[in-house]
Amino acid sequence: MNIKGKVLLVATLIILAILSYTLSFGKSHPDITLPNPEYGVSIDKGVAYKKNSFSKDSLRLDIYRSPGKPAGKRPVIVYLHGGAWSQGSKNLINNNFREFVLADLVKNNYIVISADYTLLTDKIHLDKPLQDVKDILTWVKDNEDQYQFDTENVGLWGGSSGAHLALLTAYQNQQLAVEPRFVIDFFAPTDLRKFFRTDANSFYLQIFKWRNLDAYNLRTQKIKELTGFNIFSQQKAAQDQCITYSPVQYINKNTVPTLIFQGDDDHVVDASQSYLLDEKLTENKIDHQLYIIEGAKHSFTNITLDEAKDIAKKTLDFVKKHTGK
């Protein structure tokens, strides 16, 4: 192949790669509104777990459990909501398929805590919500007798950016008041370098900018929010911080069991992020399961009722296996 042909081939491959870029948009199956599951639940709403250093308000959590007086301490699952790290709230646990997971857990005597955390801005970066998650676990430990928490059986569960926080907290080698026994990941970014293409050259980025200006600007904004660095003027620092904030970097033989759900029609967090996590966990012989939901978009907004029930059952089976209860 001559030089001109090689250049044309490379350009074509680059354009094709851009068309599949994780922040682009594609055709998907239509959304489905699921009915609310029927289940009995007792809710402690808006319990403060720490003062918010960026406002006068406290950060709060909701506690979901089966009605009636608990017969002994119960395992706890802490839910962290999604929203691109800068949006969302603890109330998202009641939306879409999540409530089916919540219902099955509560019906089987698990306590579920859904918590708010500090949202990112240009001046608030990922270290703050990561600290919040640690403080949630400290609050759980400090209040184990009042709420009958079994602190020997605590897991983390999250969706999208919340799942990213859950994975980082569970995987990093750090001192925690309560050590998570497992983590449940719904469509999380797992390698921020690849997710944001932090090593992309200027030619690639110019084509990407031309192809989708909104996604180009969103990439720049999110990297700044997460890391505190500008990917163009502070590229090395931004790249290094993206490595630090990538859960796959911390996987080793002691990593906790992990449950992964991913849609194969996700145009926000590409399925390759979950496949990469699966690969790293397999390499280190970590007990884990990966479920790919055919045709599912990000946040599983288009899955059927049967699929939602199946996801809830698989999640419950995983939790039972790793709590022994």
Task: Give the whole-angstrom CA distance, residue 78 versus residue 318.
Answer: 15
Rg, the chain, Cα only: 20
Question: Residue 289 phi/psi, 5° resolution?
Answer: -140, 140
How far, in Å, CA of 99 to CA of 38, rounded?
A: 10
Query: Looking at residue 25, what is its pLDDT?
Result: 42
- pLDDT in tens for each of the 325 residues of the chain? 566 554 454 444 444 444 444 444 444 579 999 999 999 999 999 999 998 777 778 999 999 999 987 778 999 999 999 999 999 999 999 999 999 999 999 999 999 999 999 999 999 999 999 999 999 999 999 999 999 999 999 999 999 999 999 999 999 988 999 999 999 999 999 999 999 999 988 888 888 889 889 988 999 999 999 999 999 999 999 999 999 999 999 999 999 999 999 999 999 999 999 999 999 999 999 999 999 999 999 999 999 999 999 999 999 999 999 997 7
Residue 67: helix, strand or coil by DSSP? coil
Task: Please identify, in words, the CATH class of the domain defined by 42-186+304-323.
Answer: alpha beta
pTM for the full model? 0.90
| Residue extent(s) of CATH 3.40.50.1820 domains in the chain | 42-186+304-323
What's the pLDDT score for residue 69? 73
Q: Could you list the beta-strand ranges (E) of 52-135.
A: 58-65, 74-80, 111-115
Over the range 3-29, which residues count as b (16 or more CB within 10 Å of their CB) and which as e?
eeeeeeeeeeebeeebeebbbbeeebe
* Residue 214 CB neighbour total at 10 angstroms: 10
Strands 42-51 and 58-65: antiparallel
Q: Name the DSSP class of 57.
A: S
pLDDT score of 57: 85
Q: Tokens at residue 20, please?
A: 């599949």
Question: Cβ(267)–Cβ(215) under 8 Å?
Answer: no
Please, what's the b/e burial string for 45-81 (b: 16 or more CB within 10 A of its CB; e: otherwise)? eeeebbebeeeeeebbbbbbbbeeeeeebbbbbbbbb
Scanning the chain, the segments in alpha helix (DSSP H) are: 3-19, 98-107, 127-142, 144-147, 161-171, 192-196, 202-211, 213-227, 235-244, 271-283, 305-323
| Confidence (pLDDT) at 28 | 55
